[in-house]
Structure 1
Amino acid sequence: MTTRTPLTHRGSMMDEYFFEERCFISEWWNSVQDADVSVARARVLPGVTTRLHRLRGIMERYIILEGQGLVEIDGRPAGTVTPGDVVLIPPDVSQRISNPGISDLLFLVVCTPRFVPEAYEDLESPDGIKTDQ
């Protein structure tokens, strides 16, 4: 159940952790009190490509803050993204993002409904080869 009680949540940049997807995540907002949405900051190191994956039943939006990326969605050719760009990723669609630059790629990830780990589906085998979608 989503709460309608106003609140202010103070996030901490110190809570960043490395996620198996090959990026660093800082959860800014992800609570059962607000099941409608979650917000995280993602950081991809230079030269890194995140694992090909999809989120079951969750729409994602990438809001590019810093750096340059190459985003692949649903098997389409990679497209360049830069600060200010918003990438809409429908539920159940394959995706990954690369950082071809020399500085970190930073972006917000806004999920609706909120991200839950059991919705994450890795589409790569352990050796990095794409598996059936």
Structure 2
Amino acid sequence: MRATIHHVTPDAESFIPEGCFILELSNSPDDPDVSIARARVAPGATTRWHRLTGTVERYVILTGAGRVEVGDLPPQDVTPGDVVLIPPACRQRIANTGSEDLIFLAVCTPRFQPTCYKNLETECRHGDAP
């Protein structure tokens, strides 16, 4: 690896089927140990139940208010400054419970790759949690 500055264009943000907006800040094969994305969840929205295989994820809450569900933990309210640690293959989702966008960094180790993402909503029946 060599020193690099990543310049990010805010209009590169895109809506993903999980139910939130993602702006990739750093996700490159040249830096395979980590990826960083900015996630934005609109007021009243909840992301899909999902898990990442072989990848640890951390949510670093920047703005807004939410309720996160991770593994077998009871739902927890999160606010700016909170960090949510999500082990590999642990089911997860987050809801925006506030009136403004919920914005957080999603930091993955090793870096996020689409092949590690598993949508758990397709496994659920009648709205049951996976």
1:58 alignment counterpart: 55
**Cα root mean square deviation, aligned:** 1.6
Aligned residues: 129
Indicate the SS of the match to 2:115.
Answer: helix
Q: Which 4+ stretches in 1 moved above 3 angstroms?
A: none
Q: Distance in 1 between matches of 2:70 and 2:76?
A: 9
The code of the aligned residue for 1:101 comes to G
Shift in Å, 1:127: 7.7
Q: Which of residues 111, 127, 130 in structure 2 aligns to 1:129?
A: 127
Contact 1:59/1:113, CA 8 A, preserved across alignment = yes
The 1:28–1:127 alpha-carbon spacing in structure 2 relative to 1, beyond 3 Å, is farther
Tell me which amino acid in the other structure corresponds to 1:8.
Answer: I
TM-score (ref. length: structure 2): 0.94
Letter aligned with residue 108 of structure 1: L
Alpha-carbon distance in 2 for matches of 1:91, 1:110: 13
Equivalent residue in structure 1 for 2:105, among 105, 108, 113: 108
Written as runs of structure 1 = structure 2, the 5 A alignment for 1:30-41 is: 30-41=27-38
Question: C-alpha displacement at 1:99, in angstroms?
Answer: 0.5
Residue 14 of structure 1, CA deviation: 1.1
Distance 1:101 1:131, change over 3 A: closer
> What runs of 5+ residues in structure 2 fail to find an aligned partner?
none
Identity percentage of aligned residues: 53
Shift of 1:76: 2.3
Structure 1 gap ranges (5+): none
1:7 CA displacement: 1.0
Q: For 1:131 and 1:89, how far apart are their aligned partners in 2?
A: 17
1:17 correspondence with 2:18: no
